[in-house]
Structure 1
Amino acid sequence: MSLGFVMLVHTAFDRAEQVARYWADHDCPVVIHVDGKVPMKAFRAFRDRFRGEPKVRFSKRVRVEWGTWSLVRATQLATERLLDNFPQVRHVFLASGSCLPLRPVGGLQAYLATHPETDFIESVTTDEVTWTVDGLERERFTLRFPFSWRRRRRLFDRYVAIQRALGLKRRIPEGVSPHLGSQWWCLTRRTLESILNAPDRAKMDRYFAKVWIPDESYFQSLARRYSPAIESRSLTLSKFDVQGKPHVFYDDHAKLLERSDCFVARKVWPRADLLYRTFLTDDRPAAKRAEPNPGKIDRVFSKANERRGQGRPGLYSQARFPAAGWENGLTCARYNVFAGFGDLHPGFADWLARRIGGRVHGHLYHPDRVEFAGGETVMNGCLTDSATLRDYRPTQFLTNLLWSTRGERQSFLFGPRDTQEIVDFMARDPNATLAVVSGAWAVPLSQSQAPFPEIRAEAARLQRIELEFLKALRDRHVSARVHLWTLADYVAQPMEKLQGVLDEITGPGPRRLTTVPDMRPLDDIPAFLQRLRNEGVKPQVTGDFASLPARRPAPEAEAQVRDAG
């Protein structure tokens, strides 16, 4: 009877009973503290299950609340009863009702027998090491915390702010070196009796009662006063996520838990039937005498924390919908946006698909419907061509499209006639390549048969929209790769401009452009732009056509001129 257990229980009483009986059946006394918030009827029913079991006792109950002195007080009461009732116990192991032994009790007893004077408790000094995932460290020892962080958060924060503003600080008791560590420890009788029977215990208890989360500092600090040998580690496997909350172990963690070589795991899901069947039996092969080494599985949990905190690039779901700036990548894959090219080259989408492969869509953000490649009405991920559904969440429409088609290059057309809510998102996205010919909307307008007042009003509207678009692309926070030309600049050397964009998308290669896709006639553009000026609309995005060399007439026109001569 060299080892005893203290169990702190507040729920899942059937599992706590299984574990307590397992330890008691292996000659290890157990003292259980049941949270005072548990109804008396439920407590009595649980206690009555152990009638006639000499090695299981119950301690006086207190109402336990996270982060408060009540948790330390519950541990003190249970520990005192264990030490008083079972004088043969040399080590006390603190566990919760959700803990599960991973190795046979005999192995733990033999391990402690080789370390008879060693206290196993994580105990890290606040002066030299950052231990907490989030929250206060040194200040938890120098400020007062009379209010519950969970139930009265506003009062908690306000009282901390007042103490900081007034420069109020508590004096740390003489002889106490503040240390932090895991709540779950295994201490020797000698160290525990020294802490519990210390002449200044009342003073220490009063001090730590106003420390924040004292269950992570009370025994961790006072063990340093009395222990002749401390191993600053816990024999209990407990892993925490990015928010400082414990990971829960499920049935599919069985192999992982075995690999850790730890003696106890916390926190185990109450319905993990496989884990309880596997580890609460002595029929398993004898475990090797290995040092507990949770580091063996640290990589798995580090990866899990990384995945939970950062997510997968470009994946959004109800489980993880991050705030702006915390996305870990706005989209999951590279994509290409061609603005103005559809107005200038009527068959541009088909030409581009033949040239670079992948899927080239029309105007995905057309106000009437989504123009999927090939005229499809439904795409991967059950995305439909409904403009109403798309415009409910324009950015998520794009991220979902890219996620559902990852592995396949996506390109689409864009322009000032399209829904513009997606512009800022694309400009911030490092995965986006935007090739823009500003003012290209003027080409189809110049060939329109509508009354000129209507054309003038439409030209003014499209220019206002495009100016906002260009402003977004010139913002200092733009992360997209932007190729921007005015209409005049582009038509001066279209092949060179297109070649540069294609080289960026596909990489330089031996296959160079020898022709460009068919272009709409541009002969009327200078006169059209001048007429807009005459009507009071100044073209600001089309560039200067007056500086361009005169366009050579087509061969047929030259022949007609010669014949007429």
Structure 2
Amino acid sequence: MVKIAFILLCHKDPQAVIQQARQLTAVGDCVSIHFDANAPRAEWDEIRAALEGEPNVTFARRRLRCGWGEWSLVEASLGAIRAALDAFPRATHLYMVSGDCMAIKSAAYAHRRLADEDADFIESVDFFDSDWIKTGIKEERLVYRHYFNERTAKRAFYAAMGLQRRLGLRRAIPRDLSIRIGSQWWCLRRGTVEAVLDFLAERPDVVRFFRRTWIPDETFFQTLVRHLVPETQIRSRTLTFLMFTDYGMPVTFYNDHYDMLLSQDYLFARKISPEAKVLRTRLGRLYASDRTEFAISGEGRRLFQFLTGRGRVGQRFAPRFWESEASGARERELLIVACKKWHVAKRLVGSIKHHTNIPALDYIFDEESAELPDLGGIQATIPKRHRHRRTLMRMLFDFYDSDRLLICLDTGSTDLMHDFFSDRPNVRLLEIECQFDDAYLEGHARRVGLAGARSSAETMAQLLPTLRNDLRGEVDRLRDARFPAHYRLRQASGVEQNAAAIEGFLSVPAATARALAQTPNLFQD
């Protein structure tokens, strides 16, 4: 039978700590608390007075002053872990949480989840080969000894590291350890935690190494668990849902995030705003409930990136990155069909291939599986196609031995269009203007990962207006670009108007243009 001992690291808001401890223990689980010694003594006394008599609550024997990125965070965790193992002999799992974490599933659901899978849940990826560290120093975290805190003593931190570098004082990583990195919010089986403590008792050199490592809470447990536990018993993921902004700061959740949080494939979430009183109350009741069925859609991260990214569209000031020598020949003509509904563009392109001899390709910059000839590997992946786009287009013109070539682009790919129009004088654009009902938008949201198959109606109601505005914004940016030779094919227009647009775009006879405008089921979803 699963029984969780929560390792609660906190440093503020004693009333919230008390409430959190009571919510977690109300269903029989346990809590071991470390309250940062940087906090006022009165706040610590308040917590002790409120929880001292609770049988399922214990406290780390020593309060430590914790600093972000320092060994003190790991040491505080170890203190709370030892207290939990001593006080709760029946605890089967230890789960690391902070004062900002709250359950987003019921205890019954969490217990069943852990019982069904005999494994340790800890994000643990290769320190050197992964791209887990997005900014800042990487190898320097390990090979130099860190005596100062980069946040509170920046000059001393970098001066000490620079001195070690100049003097060649790199230190060796313990030979038998493969350093791993990941989130500090893990859930481990009791036997795994006991094995870690036994290992530390035998290997003081490992403690010395991590004591002078920068941000060891992201590498210490992640490395040792991988060292001690078979890979088949490790799930390299956290059970705590957390997201980060573009600036590396944790995303904070508020009252209106309740439905979204419940639909994520996690047991807890971080960070819940202290001001989100309603959310905290609802989540506390949820953990104590007997609810075991949740509709998991998992769209949270993609949805957040989409919604927060709208304000930065068009703010790209990077230099162009095509190879200058790969400009297209002056006499060649590039035809671009731009359409958000890819199936509509593909139907038209299929009809163009049938009625003309113009080489035509589908969404080669959007679809990995788009059919392309073998061009020596430059066509192998979408990143390569984007990186060498000028060269790719020149090679396609050569391959088809044609002075005319047609490709499809998404209406959001205005950066590509700008590059193509600036590269050659002979570019024509046919924009296909489609109508978007709610059913299509819902399907589109699921296809691109903004929503899951079981996203709630509330989530979709919040998403669809933003998605509709986003599509409208793409059209506005396309129109604002004022590309020359810009033709429009409209779902709402008649055959004659659309035939005229196609005739101008392709320079084909009127009869051919009319046949293309009458392509069967052209706009049908």
User: Which of the five TM-score ranges fits, normalised by the shorter chain?
Assistant: 0.5 to 0.7
The alignment yields a C-alpha RMSD, in angstroms, of: 3.3
Distance 1:182 1:305, change over 3 A: farther
TM-score (normalizing by structure 1):
0.54
Distance 1:55 1:298, change over 3 A: same
Q: Matched residues, percent identical?
A: 34
- Deviation track 1:138-189 (CA, whole Å, cap 9, x = no partner) reads 3312122111010111121222233334443211113211000001000111
> Given the alignment of the two structures, is residue 266 of structure 1 paired with residue 270 of structure 2, yes or no?
yes
Q: For structure 2, list consecutive stretches of 5 or more residues without a partner in the other structure.
A: 320-414, 416-421, 423-481, 489-496, 498-525
Question: Match for 1:300 among 298, 303, 307?
Answer: 303
Distance 1:271 1:181, change over 3 A: same
Deviation at 1:133, TM superposition (A): 2.3
Distance 1:178 1:34, change over 3 A: same
SS of aligned partner of 1:98? coil
Alignment of 1:7-406 (within 5 A): 7-59=8-60, 60-116=62-118, 118-198=119-199, 199-228=201-230, 229-282=233-286, 286-288=291-293, 295-304=298-307, 306-307=309-310, 311-313=312-314, 325=317
> 1: CA distance between counterparts of 2:218 and 2:7?
16
Deviation at 1:35, TM superposition (A): 0.2
Aligned to 1:334: none
SS of aligned partner of 1:197? helix
SS of aligned partner of 1:106? helix
Conserved? CA contact 2:272–2:280, under 8 Å: no
Conserved? CA contact 1:178–1:217, under 8 Å: yes
> 2: CA distance between counterparts of 1:504 and 1:304?
28
> 1: CA distance between counterparts of 2:8 and 2:487?
67
Letter of the structure 2 residue corresponding to residue 281 of structure 1: R
> 1: CA distance between counterparts of 2:99 and 2:217?
16
> 2: CA distance between counterparts of 1:242 and 1:191?
35
Deviation at 1:272, TM superposition (A): 0.5
> 2: CA distance between counterparts of 1:80 and 1:9?
17
Conserved? CA contact 1:5–1:93, under 8 Å: yes
- Deviation track 1:77-100 (CA, whole Å, cap 9, x = no partner) reads 000000011111111000000101
> 2: CA distance between counterparts of 1:508 and 1:106?
59
- Deviation track 1:170-222 (CA, whole Å, cap 9, x = no partner) reads 11113211000001000111111111122434221111011110000000001
Q: Which moved more, 1:118-127 or 1:134-143?
A: 134-143
Aligned to 2:427: none
Conserved? CA contact 1:141–1:178, under 8 Å: no
SS of aligned partner of 2:8? strand
- Deviation track 1:282-305 (CA, whole Å, cap 9, x = no partner) reads 486823267x87x53221132256
Relative contact order, higher structure (CA 8 A, sep 6+): 2
Conserved? CA contact 1:13–1:97, under 8 Å: no
Conserved? CA contact 1:3–1:92, under 8 Å: yes
> 1: CA distance between counterparts of 2:116 and 2:483?
66
Conserved? CA contact 2:7–2:32, under 8 Å: yes
> 1: CA distance between counterparts of 2:304 and 2:206?
36
SS of aligned partner of 1:94? strand
Deviation at 1:505, TM superposition (A): 7.5
Letter of the structure 2 residue corresponding to residue 45 of structure 1: E
SS of aligned partner of 2:66? coil
Distance 1:203 1:504, change over 3 A: closer
SS of aligned partner of 1:281? helix
> 2: CA distance between counterparts of 1:284 and 1:49?
24
> 2: CA distance between counterparts of 1:97 and 1:91?
19
When Rg is computed on C-alpha atoms for both structures, the one with the higher figure is 1
> 1: CA distance between counterparts of 2:121 and 2:487?
62
SS of aligned partner of 1:280? helix
> 2: CA distance between counterparts of 1:31 and 1:209?
23
> 1: CA distance between counterparts of 2:223 and 2:302?
30
> 1: CA distance between counterparts of 2:76 and 2:250?
21
> 1: CA distance between counterparts of 2:73 and 2:246?
24
> 1: CA distance between counterparts of 2:282 and 2:289?
8
Conserved? CA contact 1:102–1:279, under 8 Å: yes
Distance 1:305 1:128, change over 3 A: farther
Distance 1:183 1:504, change over 3 A: closer
SS of aligned partner of 2:256? helix
Distance 1:125 1:15, change over 3 A: same
Deviation at 1:132, TM superposition (A): 1.5
Deviation at 1:22, TM superposition (A): 1.1
- Deviation track 1:254-294 (CA, whole Å, cap 9, x = no partner) reads 1210111311000110111221122111486823267x87x
